[in-house]
Amino acid sequence: MKRQTVRTDVAIVGAGFTGLSAAHELSKAGINLALLEARGRVGGRVESQWNGLGERIDSGGQFLCEDMPELMALVRARGKTLVETYAKGEFVAQPLTGAKQVERIYHASMSIRDRMNAIAPGDPAIAGLTVAAWLDRQNDPGEAKAAFRSMIQGLWCQALEKLPLWHLIDNDRRITNEVSELQYFVLETMQSLADDLAGDLGDRLRLNTPVRTIERRPGGVRLASTTGSITARIALIAMPPMMASKLDFAPPLPAALQRALGVWQSGAVIKVQMRYATAFWRARGLSGMVMWRDPPALFACDASKDDGHPALVVFVGGPLALRWRELGDAALRTEVMARLRQALGTDADDFIDFSCRDWTDDRWSGGGYADLIIDTSATEAEKTILAGAPPVYFASSELSPSFPGYVEGAIVAGRIAAQKILREFNPQ
């Protein structure tokens, strides 16, 4: 096949929600662009798969809530149907404890989180501290600390021993939802939203185009992929920082920027979904939500659609995901099912479909839900990446001022990057 060289104004690398959102914003302003995506589909960490029952299910990002304005607006504008996540009835805590004790442990773990978030990220007293080291110094009961560890490792899919305290506080403060982040999901799948955005772009979107090198040259950039090259005035790298750090830049990026990209590590998550003939947990007055303190970062909830089979989704996060992925598919399933049986009873075994998506070390996103900084001294990393090396800029959900690590954050990050680029085309 003949390799082509295409010319455009802006080349965007990565068609996750960040890249799609930037492309949408730039197209609206009449800018010529090319959106280059390594995979044969758009969506990145939002992905859907067909399960064994012929149902299309979200195997990546799925849930959203009323407090995520950009994503909610998009869902509504594209005429999607919101499914309210079933949350009636009791949730189960594991190891099993009495209802009163569960409530006490939960409130105690939330008060650790509030205490943490009351610390200013820049407070010199926490410089160099990881979340684990800080937690060690707290005088809370062991069970409250275990619940806090499980909650944070579950939400961020990263070991507390690696996570700088200032970074977690800085991120956690940007997650501002008051209603549950699991409030809704999209009947047609979150992935269908990405497909709709891609549909607007026509042939400006190029799938199966992994960008390998980015040359900065006078007047612009040249991006080379396995299928050809593109020259542009500006490049926007819409990928998580850890993946961006693996691109080959010529000349090399300024040392501070290369370092700033290199201090991130992808979280580890495995998403498991089971379909059942009946929602047996509901019949027993349970919501289907299970929160494990041990093992930490294991969480389940109901994800049933009215028109499909009742469903449970289980998230395995952080160090637990890294451990369990080594077991292989069959043993991983055994582990998950053993925990679920303990929590919800033997009916849990009667699933009619079992789907598992291992995102650890994902080839094109690195992992999930998001990258986090793992160097306690890298307080300037985000600022350095956002400044970029003009005409090369960077954006991703991780770098969003609101909801970093979420689809909402990706949409916001893409829009902000597009506005920055537009200012270069139309200087005031």
Q: Indicate the annotated binding residues for substrate.
A: 315
- Rounded Cα distance, 190 and 197, in Å: 11
CB-wise, 214 or 279, nearer to ligand FAD?
A: 214
- Rounded Cα distance, 146 and 137, in Å: 14
Residues belonging to the binding site for FAD are 18, 37-38, 211, 398
CB-wise, 105 or 198, nearer to ligand FAD?
A: 198
Instruction: State in angstroms the smallest separation of the CB of 166 from ligand FAD.
Output: 21
Instruction: State in angstroms the smallest separation of the CB of 24 from ligand FAD.
Output: 12
CB-wise, 144 or 269, nearer to ligand FAD?
A: 269
Cβ atoms of 12 and 27 within 8 Å: the answer is no
Cβ neighbors of 223 (< 8 A, separation 6 or more) are 11, 13, 36, 211, 213, 214, 215, 229, 230, 231, 232, 235
Task: Locate 372 and state its tokens.
Answer: 């986090």
CB-wise, 14 or 388, nearer to ligand FAD?
A: 14
Residue 311, beta-bridge partner list: 275
CA dihedral 234, 236, 241, 246 (to 10 degrees): -60
CB-wise, 74 or 147, nearer to ligand FAD?
A: 74
CB-wise, 143 or 382, nearer to ligand FAD?
A: 382
Task: Locate 90 and state its tokens.
Answer: 């009791």
95 secondary structure, DSSP code: S
CB-wise, 197 or 238, nearer to ligand FAD?
A: 238
Nearest to 71 by CA among 221, 228, 184, 169: 184
Helix, strand or coil, per DSSP, at residue 211: strand
Instruction: State in angstroms the smallest separation of the CB of 425 from ligand FAD.
Output: 23
Residue type present at position 155: L
- Rounded Cα distance, 389 and 125, in Å: 33
Cβ atoms of 138 and 145 within 8 Å: the answer is yes
Cβ atoms of 90 and 286 within 8 Å: the answer is yes
Instruction: State in angstroms the smallest separation of the CB of 397 from ligand FAD.
Output: 4
Cβ atoms of 412 and 176 within 8 Å: the answer is no
Instruction: State in angstroms the smallest separation of the CB of 16 from ligand FAD.
Output: 2
Which residues contribute to the site for ligand FAD (CB under 6 A)? 13-19, 36-39, 44-46, 60-64, 210-211, 238-240, 243, 269, 271, 359, 364-365, 368-370, 396-397, 405-408, 410
Instruction: State in angstroms the smallest separation of the CB of 119 from ligand FAD.
Output: 25
Instruction: State in angstroms the smallest separation of the CB of 112 from ligand FAD.
Output: 24
Q: What is the DSSP string of 328-392?
A: -HHHHHHHHHHHHHHHH-GGGG--SEEEEEE-TT-TTT-SSS-EEE--TT-TTHHHHHHH-BTTE
Instruction: State in angstroms the smallest separation of the CB of 275 from ligand FAD.
Output: 18
CB-wise, 16 or 310, nearer to ligand FAD?
A: 16
Residues belonging to the binding site are 18, 37-38, 211, 315, 398
